[in-house]
Amino acid sequence: MTTRPRTLFEKIWESHIVRPQTADTPAVLYIDLHLVHEVTSPQAFTQLRERGLSVRRPNQTIATMDHSTPTTPRGLDGLIPILDPQAGAQLAQLERNCLDFGIPLFKLGSDKQGIVHVIGPEQGLTQPGMTIVCGDSHTSTHGAFGALAFGIGTSEVAHVMATQCLLQNKPRTMEVRVDGQLQPGVTAKDIILAIIAKIGIGGGTGYVFEYTGSAIRALSMEERMTICNMSIEGGARAGMVAPDETTFSYIAGRPHAPQGADWERAVEQWRTLPTDEGATYDAAISLDAGTLRPMITYGTNPGMGMAIDQPVPDPEALGDPSQRAALDKALNYMGLQPGQQLLGKPVDVVFLGSCTNSRITDLRMAAHVLRGRKVAPNVRMLVVPGSQQVKQQAEAEGLRDIFVEAGAEWREAGCSMCIAMNEDKLEPGQYAVSTSNRNFEGRQGKGGRTFLASPLTAAATAIKGKITDARELV
């Protein structure tokens, strides 16, 4: 028995070693759950076919359709129409691949379909202590359950399909400690935007984050997912939160959760996962949640963020020429001036959705602000639930009616305007306040300009038609 104190990360890492790391070779790491979607998998399946390989553990693999699926309302036939032939071909290819290789699939139109990082937790597939991968960088989301979850590329998708393993060098760990109590109107999204603004988008490169502290403990699972989701935006491949009672009660009773005596055994084991007293991290940062204000981004990467009532920074104030050029380029793209206030700036679109903020609590938060109010006439607001299950629940709770009565569009589940692979995109030059995770140039449509913010800020902005501090309205 080892008595050395270990972090959450180390415990999971060590329990998944098939072959230890040596001076010459990375570790062979076992993967418990592989999530698959239509965009990053086709070429991996092709590789399997070319080499005559099968999927080693189809029953530890699950596929969904999310990135290129339309989110337009169903036709009279109850089907979601696919108008883009290329997207249609890609979706058909995934269906064929899943059939050929025996992989369970939540296809478009089924009642479990949704964004890959929404459905895993929702179905109880995401559990503490597991290793989870997906050909998608926001796989970090699942770390909210105390799992080691990270994004991989298509070559590695093929590796996991064929061997259920990955070659990995052990990453370093960083404790991201958030203590204190959030003020009203300030959310989990603001915590993570503040962290990324503080460390920069490369600040976590090479690290796995573990979020600790009283502010993290106080968050719901959905809020923890919002935070872990954007770990990659700080450069960290994975972010984790140690499992606790909040975690267990979220998982209990979900379709793939352990049942009966298995449940008791699982919880007992999950309780051993949190970082031991005295264990050390390779690096640490901290943040006081009590001092946070709602955050918004002003630039073209998620690290270019500030409190919503601050002025846009001035490139001239930056000493480093490369950073100055980067900020200059970003403000030029965004059509913003140094020193400008973003509060009061008119926007064209408000997008409520994405694997960061499309779960039931996110929709409730926004609906709370929108109840009995109207979306401003100059604004198009899209509400895109993260999954069919979220959609059904929101409809049952009456949230759909609140959104529709306010004048927002109520859509089918998918990635939608987070990535603009379907018809949901910004027009060149349009401004959007978006609850998604990336404000890169053109991310939400070629020439489109994105302000990342929380669901509260998004809802408040939709009502006023201009960037608004939600604290005025809640």
Partner 1 sequence: MEPITTFSGTCVVLPIENIDTDQIIPARFLKATDKQGMGDHLFADWRYDEGGQPKPDFVLNQPEAQRAQILIGGHNFGCGSSREHAPWALQGFGFRAVISTYFADIFRNNALKVGLLPLMVAPEAHGQIIALCTADPGAQLTVDLDAQQVLLPDGTAVSFPIDPFAKYCLLNGVDQLGFLLSQDDAIAQYEDQHTARVTTVLH
Which residues form the interface with ligand SF4 (CB under 6 A)?
A: 66-67, 115-117, 136, 138, 354-355, 415, 418-419, 436-437
Distance between CA 207 and CA 85 in Å, rounded?
Answer: 40
Tokens describing residue 135: 């050909």
Tokens describing residue 370: 């929108």
Identify the sign of the CA torsion 253, 255, 209, 221. negative
Question: Would you give the end-to-end CA distance of the chain in angstroms?
Answer: 53
Does residue number 267 form part of the binding site for partner 1 (CB under 8 A)?
no
Q: How far is the CB of 175 from ligand SF4 (least distance, A)?
A: 25
Does residue number 322 form part of the binding site for partner 1 (CB under 8 A)?
yes
Q: Which of 70, 114, 143, 151 binds partner 1 (CB under 8 A)?
A: 151
How many residues lie near partner 1 (CB under 8 A)? 84
Distance between CA 313 and CA 343 in Å, rounded?
Answer: 14
Query: Out of ligand SF4, partner 1, none, which partner does residue 357 contact, by CB within 5 to 8 A per kind?
Result: none
Per-residue mark of binding to partner 1, 50-79 (x: CB under 8 A) = -x-x--xxxxxxx----xx-----------
Instruction: Look at residue 283 and give its three-state secondary structure.
Output: strand
Name which of residues 445 to 474 contact partner 1 (CB under 8 A). 446
Parallel, antiparallel, or unpaired: how do β-strands 17-19 and 27-30 relate?
antiparallel
Q: Which of 35, 40, 43, 46 is nearest to 68 (CA)?
A: 40
Q: How far is the CB of 203 from ligand SF4 (least distance, A)?
A: 20
Does residue number 313 form part of the binding site for partner 1 (CB under 8 A)?
no
Closer by beta carbon to partner 1, 202 or else 253: 202
Q: What is the 3-state secondary structure (H, E, C) of 374-392?
A: CCCCCCEEEECCCEHHHHH
Closer by beta carbon to ligand SF4, 66 or else 210: 66
Does residue number 318 form part of the binding site for partner 1 (CB under 8 A)?
no
Q: Which of 110, 101, 82 is nearest to 42 (CA)?
A: 101
Closer by beta carbon to ligand SF4, 182 or else 421: 421
Q: Is residue 453 within 8 Å of residue 435, measured between CB atoms?
A: yes
Does residue number 127 form part of the binding site for partner 1 (CB under 8 A)?
yes
Residue 350 pairs in a beta bridge with 381, 433
Q: Which of 95, 163, 198, 405 binds partner 1 (CB under 8 A)?
A: 163
Closer by beta carbon to ligand SF4, 133 or else 312: 133
Q: Is residue 230 within 8 Å of residue 356, measured between CB atoms?
A: yes
Q: How far is the CB of 142 from ligand SF4 (least distance, A)?
A: 12
Query: Out of partner 1, ligand SF4, none, which partner does residue 33 contact, by CB within 5 to 8 A per kind?
Result: partner 1
Q: Which of 43, 214, 272, 337 binds partner 1 (CB under 8 A)?
A: 43
Q: How far is the CB of 459 from ligand SF4 (least distance, A)?
A: 19
Query: Out of ligand SF4, partner 1, none, which partner does residue 355 contact, by CB within 5 to 8 A per kind?
Result: ligand SF4
Does residue number 255 form part of the binding site for partner 1 (CB under 8 A)?
yes
Identify the sign of the CA torsion 25, 58, 227, 384. positive
Residue 28 pairs in a beta bridge with 19, 167
Residue 333: burial class (beta carbons within 10 Å; 0-12, 13-18, 19+)? middle
Does residue number 272 form part of the binding site for partner 1 (CB under 8 A)?
no
Q: How far is the CB of 131 from ligand SF4 (least distance, A)?
A: 19
H helices of 338-445, in order, are 360-370, 388-396, 399-406
